[in-house]
Structure 1
């Protein structure tokens, strides 16, 4: 009879282990020994409370000897890179006490013992903690014993003692792994000054790529082109195209019975076809269109350009001209554009009396100036009108926006009808679809009402709108009677570029009648309104969230802090991989028509639409001037819903990427694959594909870039005449609407949903998920203080005797020499910052699904987050209360995020997330430490106290240098989804 009895051991976790590494952690594994068999768990790096969750089965050779057998579970610490091990404690469990069934075996936590028995916990003990095990017996024949046993001196996955080259290779591998996850080693000291970055699944992390850029490769952050210098398009993969420019035709013959001709041109090369517009009854048409065909996909040796006549039944053949591809010239910048030439057309019989066609044919790359406006081969299946309107790339310039400041002061000679009720007079202002109203005016003497309220509107150049100001009387609910109004062209309003004072003006109001009789009679008792109006250009018109802003410059150019750019930002949009199908094509296949939009400053760019491809290749490069590197560039991928279904559908967002310039090194080329993450109302977070980008930030003036850290972030008027938080939010939404309207008038248009998605137009809405994310960010910020308290508690408990003795000695030294306290702290910060330099993030930060709290979000929270505003799921009364609650909660959410942002900026001082800011702070620590060493401590304390209590006249209204420096530090808002 066969023996199926086996001992099952589940190693769950260990708790409260004694630190052994220099960073205050321990690298552990558990070794199990039973009946001459040995198994070992995987290694858990840098964790005092590791989780193993591994199960092993030992074969019982003789069931009769089971009561005399013992299970040994030993916890070891692995020393890297020597790969030696040290004893942390063990657990011995007699087999006679093991339950006979898995269902009767709970998880038990056993205290670790010494080798000779007995628990640790003495003053100088090196044994501490407990091990969670679940042990049981089973005779299930389907359960097989675990794999190959380990001998006493053998480990399955630990290599032998390495040499120095292996050590450096292991060190660099570990360092790259830490850099990819943007996480410093979880040392106790670092947890006191920086929060632990939350790990997220590998599929949601960015990945480093090695594309062939400009014919070269990326070597140590730079593009190296063998035998040549990088060109203007060195951040994208070089692609060659066959360009065919169809300019015009002349002397075409008539084909219709009526003697007319409706000509169009068709470019044919293999299976590719490109068609121009057709002209009605025109024998000398002008098209001036360019077609681009990828050279690596050409399946023919010649290109034919045919002129045809559009008919209802069958298009007539007019003539054609053909070119051999071997004879087509190659053109590359800085060569000038190829001049078009006249070519005589040939009919089907070979005759040449069918007119002439002006053409230019050449081979070029995406650096060609015709590339953005060309019709590409993948758009051949689209109607030419649709391809011209919605499939081409474009560079947009956002309009310059100003604040229209309207100070409603008072009104005189306001005629009110006689009656028993007291008048309720207010002033309403309207610019376009923006409308604001004052409170009820305070009645004074006869016909005098006072308000003295300031309201803001957003207007954009050119100023074509009018400001309509009306004085109205609220006669009853929804019964507002206009007493008088005035129209003020915004172009006539004086511009106020700085905080200089503007003088009020008296304006005569017109009555709301077809003929103003009082106006015609020049009645001197007409109602007059005193207004103080100005176009304020000293503000930064916020068209996006301040944390994601790409431009802090005011509208007035002569107030710009940096007259010249401090650097250049270059972006290469290579490709997108593995996109999810967004719609169904005409033949029933799932497809996607993707294009990218990038926004930085006032320059928006849109790539061409790659039709019917789930892995589109763009290979387009753009550049921006940088005036402030504490800014963010946003790149998003959209599905073009206009090329197949028409303009009534919305372009669907596939995902976006945000990169803060201050977190990347100057002159270095970053090539990464960014996951495109979208939050769906039903399925939660979903990866829609990957976007391959190449980014390079080049500093033209390093001194100006360092000087930017101490400049005020926003213009002066934001501090001398601040705008309330509620007004800023309303103005931001109005600015987004104006921007969407203006960019929607371009060709091709940027649709409203694209602009709103890029500008975070719905970020102010209430979201339970986002509020939880801000809360956990806040708790993680204070995690350093909690870790410090635990560290002090461990000192008091003599958890590590050596450390406790050293702290006692340090305490005695600092008490005896108090002037060494501040230098010691600053030098300690300097040492931590220098230590973190080796573990600084190599990758730009990206959206983190863990800190965005998208994994634990409930369907009800998602339904609430994606609900419309106002909601339509409740009755009228409940709906109004629910909307009010969401609005209040949204403001609380934003305040909570502000607190978290300030704490994260403190943490970024030593994390090297902004390399220049960390370097400046470390230099400041070093210099200040020496100052405290030289200058007597008491003098410094008195000077700091006097400075802190200085007279208000000695205080400046502008923020101080440390405040400006602090405002430019990066926070983890860039990683929020």
Structure 2
């Protein structure tokens, strides 16, 4: 790793302006830009944020009346589409003279190697080479061009020709051939010549797809009480608690403090559940027999879809449920186990949709809407992102003895995830795909990540897709209706240090649909109302967020093709809560930078009081006299000064969206051992001496934090000590001082008081003492509660 490094390296980590040849406002097919999310009334955007890429499309629909093989007496047909050195094959069917394929092939115009397109129909044989049935030839100059929203080109029946292209053979094949762009509806599901080396299941993993995050609900289980709890040992009174489980989420109530068959808890247990509800709520009553031994005395299973959905703060009615006695109930034929009665449990259970379920880190939140769609409001704008290309991508693996990278890009905003197609064996991949999202709040972040595809063959199941880099863009930092074309550095912090993996070229546009609505939002609460009416504790928020992220990763991993767990976790920063010395330093210096302005003002005031610049001090005296004589000008002067500062800073406003700041993150100067600690597993796998050294270092850092927090607490307790009578003499003096000052201020004009106080504060250094002031000495002598700490 290179440390803070040279100026050249620092420049590589910066955002760069680009000037791509974006397409003009040419229409697209809707499903590519909006994924079916944008209604026709609002879909005014066009596929104009990417460069046009032309493709030759060949749709193979079906065939009929194919002649049987003279040897086998049957026909196992498939179609081979050949253009130069590129060959694409359809699925073959066994013993089917009238097969149906409906498969599309796409050949990039930039890589066309021939002016003749050949479509062969072959019969697959078990041994030897496949038998030739017939072919159809197309002249590339005669192929029509089709641009959406034109209707799809109608396929036609073509008679098969012999090898010389002269004699018409028996059998026909239905084809459609046209020249189109990446905006064509057939583009996402096409077999691409760029991925000609991929076969089998790997073909599905290279195509572009749109994913939807599952709708998440909070399941609130209010465990109130139970009745008629009967332990296995009838001679002992039960002391029970309730264990609730939803999927792999397990929560427990507190142990009932008294031993009674009718325990009372009145505790809330919170879970995260995803639609469609596949899990069930499993409640068990457990009796504490010994300090480390519990026995199950009752059980009940409740489907989640039976619970009421609450969208507001209205009251949910509680219900009694009969519990099955654990170990019995299944032996209905055995009369000895027949139940005469059962325990009952009193519950108040509901699915709450008035909250926003946090499926990602709060710092980079991309959706602040409640779960229930009935509570959504109208969108305020559209976010359009053109994923153009990447440049200088590093080698991620080795193929056939040479370096290779199979890159694809993932973008996540709100509930919608998009994945571009995979560009094989390219360090400068070009995607040129455009996507659109509805925006409901500008204070949100879109995240884009680039990955290396390691699932292109049947033997790659155990590999993970490698991270190449990530970019975040906060929408509120974008000007409306402006196209941002920038190159973002793809930075990854590895155990060896910070590394630039390439650059991602994007075109971004945020279109405002209602400026009044957007301005109105700035005065509204950030989260839905339920977050404030029924807030969660810090521990609940952390637990719920962790469970939500696990559910999202699991559900997206079940799509076809899957959006894999390692990709989802990297996009939503699942490990952001883990300890890192580097992050701790970065956050500390972020706090320090916040006080830099106050420190500068304090330093300037000190120079004025010390008469370092007599002209400035005299001007301050003049301003002070004016404000004292005309106190009604104080507030207007303050606001006018802030207005002038804002106008002055307008010329220095950021011209581009923010990006990953390596200096702010302390990623350039991080020590090697701190990096090794950050990438260590949890729990640690390091040797004992290494763990001891890191523990001592952590204690040192925590000691400094403890000292700072203790000092802040001491100052606050001293303020409380002014009137708390913990020091009777100090409080008596302060109370008497307050009485004298109140009388003096009552009989003295305020202007005179302000004038005397200001002149005393601005007095010349000759009239100042180097000793601490009386108020400072008095304050330092006040007691704090630090004396009572062990």
**Fold equivalence (TM over 0.5):** yes
Question: What's 2:762 paired with?
Answer: none
Gaps of 5+ in 1: 1-52, 54-180, 182-198, 218-229, 900-936, 939-977
1:472 is displaced (CA, Å) by: 1.3
Aligned to 1:201, the other structure's residue is in SS state helix
**1:820-864 C-alpha deviation (Å, 9 max, x unpaired):** 121111111000001111110010001100010112212221122
Is 1:862 matched with 2:671?
A: no
1:277 deviation in Å?
Answer: 2.3
Aligned to 2:155: 340
Q: What is residue 17 of structure 2 aligned with on the other side?
A: 208
Give yes or no for the alignment of 1:557 onto 2:373: yes
Relative to structure 1, the CA distance from residue 658 to residue 306 in structure 2 (aligned partners, 3 Å threshold; closer, same or farther) is same
Indicate whether 1:539 and 2:352 are aligned.
no
Change (3 A) 1:605 1:517: same
Q: Secondary structure at the match of 1:571?
A: strand
Q: Give the aligned partner of residue 478 of structure 2.
A: 664
Per-residue deviation at 1:324? 0.5
**Alpha-carbon distance between aligned partners in 2 of 1:246 and 1:209, rounded to the nearest angstrom:** 40
In the alignment, is residue 411 of structure 1 matched against residue 226 of structure 2? yes
Question: In the alignment, which residue of structure 2 is the partner of 1:301?
Answer: 115
Deviation at 1:589, TM superposition (A): 1.1
Distance apart, 1:422 and its partner CA: 7.4
Q: Contact 1:273/1:380 (CA < 8 Å) preserved in 2?
A: yes
Q: Distance in 2 between matches of 1:477 and 1:864?
A: 37
CA positional deviation for 1:770 = 0.8
CA distance in 1, matches of 2:357, 2:45: 36
Structure 1 residue aligned with 2:343, among 519, 522, 527? Answer: 527
Q: How many residues align?
A: 679
Measured after TM superposition, the shift of residue 814 of structure 1 is 1.7
Given that 2:157 and 2:173 are in contact with CA atoms closer than 8 Å, whether structure 1 keeps it comes out as yes
Are 1:325 and 2:134 matched, yes or no?
no
1:581 corresponds in structure 2 to: 395
Q: Is the 8 A contact 2:355 2:371 kept in 1?
A: yes
The question of 1:673 aligning with 2:482 is answered no
Q: Hey, what's the Cα distance between the residues in 1 that align with 2:201 and 2:160?
A: 26
CA contact (8 A) 2:329 2:338 kept: no
CA shift for structure 1 position 262: 3.0
**Equivalent of 1:829, from 637, 642, 665?**
642
CA contact (8 A) 1:275 1:380 kept: no
How far apart are residue 436 of structure 1 and its match?
Answer: 1.3
The worse-fitting range, judged by mean Cα deviation, of 570-579 and 341-350 is 341-350
How many Å separate the matches in 2 of 1:782 and 1:751? 43
Q: Secondary structure at the match of 2:646?
A: helix
Once the two structures are superposed, residues 751-777 of structure 1 have per-residue CA deviations (whole angstroms, 9 ceiling, x without a partner) of 011111111111111111111111110
SS at the partner of 2:169?
coil
**Alignment partner of 1:767 is 2:583:** no
Structure 1 vs Structure 2 CA RMSD: 3.0
Q: CA deviation at 1:400?
A: 1.1
Q: SS state of the match for residue 346, structure 2?
A: strand
- Structure 2 partner of 1:736: 549
Q: Secondary structure at the match of 1:356?
A: strand
Given that residues 447 and 472 in structure 2 are in contact (C-alpha distance below 8 angstroms), is that contact kept between their aligned partners in structure 1? yes
After superposition, where does 1:680-699 map in structure 2 within 5 Å? 680-681=494-495, 683-699=496-512
1:806 to 619, 627, 632: 619
Aligned equivalent of 1:367: 183
- Residue of structure 2 equivalent to 1:64: none
Task: Look up the SS of the partner of 1:804 in the other structure.
Answer: helix
Residue 316 of structure 2 is aligned to residue 507 of structure 1: no
Task: Provide the rounded CA distance (Å) in 2 between the counterparts of 1:533 and 1:424.
Answer: 24
In structure 2, the gaps of 5 or more residues are 1-5, 27-43, 713-749, 752-790
Of the three residues 616, 628, 631, the one matched with 2:441 is: 628
Aligned-pair distance for 1:522? 8.1
Matched position secondary structure for 2:210: strand
TM-score (normalizing by structure 1): 0.66
Report the counterpart of residue 953 of structure 1 in structure 2.
none
- Larger mean CA deviation between 810-819 and 828-837 belongs to 810-819
Instruction: Report how far residue 875 of structure 1 moved.
Output: 6.9
**Separation (CA, whole Å) in 1 of partners of 2:257 and 2:390:** 62
How far did residue 559 of structure 1 move? 1.8
Shift in Å at residue 627 of structure 1? 0.8
Judged with a 3 Å threshold, the aligned counterparts in structure 2 of structure 1 residues 557 and 592 are, in CA distance, closer, same or farther, namely same
Which sits farther off after the overlay, 599-608 or 345-354? 345-354
Match of 1:725 in 2: 538
Kindly report which structure 2 residues correspond to 1:127-166, keeping only aligned pairs within 5 A, or say none: none
Partner SS state of residue 566, structure 2:
helix
- Aligned residue for 1:823, secondary structure, equals helix
Partner of 2:282: 468
- The 1-side partners of 2:623 and 2:83 are apart by 82
For 1:323-472, what aligned pairs fall within 5 Å after superposition? 323-348=138-163, 350-387=166-203, 389-418=204-233, 423-443=238-258, 446-472=260-286
What is the alpha-carbon distance in structure 2 between the residues aligned to residue 478 and residue 246 of structure 1? 68
Shift in alpha-carbon separation, 1:310–1:736, aligned structure 2, 3 A: farther
CA displacement 1:241-283 (0-9 Å, x = unmatched):
1111111222223338433333222211112222222233333
d(CA) in 1 for partners of 2:73 and 2:673?
Answer: 69
Partner Cα distance (1:375, 1:264) in 2:
15
1:580–1:688: 8 Å Cα contact kept in structure 2?
yes
Separation in structure 2 between the aligned mates of residue 593 and residue 497 of structure 1, nearest angstrom:
45
SS of aligned partner of 2:161: coil
- Structure-1 separation of matches of 2:235 and 2:577: 44
Aligned twin of 2:69? 255
Contact residue 406 and residue 533 of structure 1 kept, 8 A: yes
- Retained in 2: the 8 A contact 1:277–1:384? no
Q: Cα 1:257–1:815, aligned 2, differ >3 Å: closer, same or farther?
A: same
Take 2:492 and 2:287, find their aligned partners in 1: how far apart are those partners? Answer: 49
In structure 2, the partner of 1:98 is none
CA contact (8 A) 2:108 2:194 kept: no
The match for 2:450 among 637, 643, 647 is: 637
Q: Which whole-Å deviations, capped at 9, do the CAs of 1:478-506 have from their partners, x for residues lacking one?
A: 64321111000001011111111112111
Give the deviation of 1:598 after TM superposition.
Answer: 0.6
